[in-house]
């Protein structure tokens, strides 16, 4: 039985969370995992590795100079 469901729109959810709550930008992936669930962005806990990957992309959206290096 799979407890954690795959969230196909995770990148969009992280981008939306960053735009509504900029303080979330500084959270670690495991903290963002529970925040996404508690705020109702996801129906279950998304895999931490997937969240970390989405965070990397979303952070380059917010600070494109860091992504260019």
Per-residue pLDDT tens for 20-54?
A: 998 999 999 999 999 999 998 888 888 899 899 99
On whether residue 69 sits in a domain, the answer given is no
pLDDT value of residue 47: 86
Q: Is the pTM of this model over 0.85?
A: no
Higher pLDDT, 61 or 30: 30
On whether residue 30 sits in a domain, the answer given is yes
Higher pLDDT, 8 or 32: 32
Residue matched to tokens 């590795």: 49
Q: Do residues 11 and 57 touch, judged by C-beta distance below 8 A?
A: yes
- State the residue range of the domain holding 28: 10-63
Q: Do residues 50 and 7 touch, judged by C-beta distance below 8 A?
A: yes
Q: Do residues 34 and 45 touch, judged by C-beta distance below 8 A?
A: yes
Q: Do residues 54 and 11 touch, judged by C-beta distance below 8 A?
A: yes
On whether residue 5 sits in a domain, the answer given is no
On whether residue 26 sits in a domain, the answer given is yes
């Amino acid at each position: 039985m799979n407890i954690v469901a795959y969230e196909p729109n995770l990148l969009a959810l992280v981008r939306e969370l960053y735009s509504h709550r900029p303080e979330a930008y500084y959270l670690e992936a495991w903290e963002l995992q529970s925040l996404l669930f508690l705020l109702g962005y996801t129906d279950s806990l998304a895999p931490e590795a997937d969240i970390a990957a989405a965070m990397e992309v979303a952070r380059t959206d917010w600070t494109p100079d860091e992504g260019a290096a």
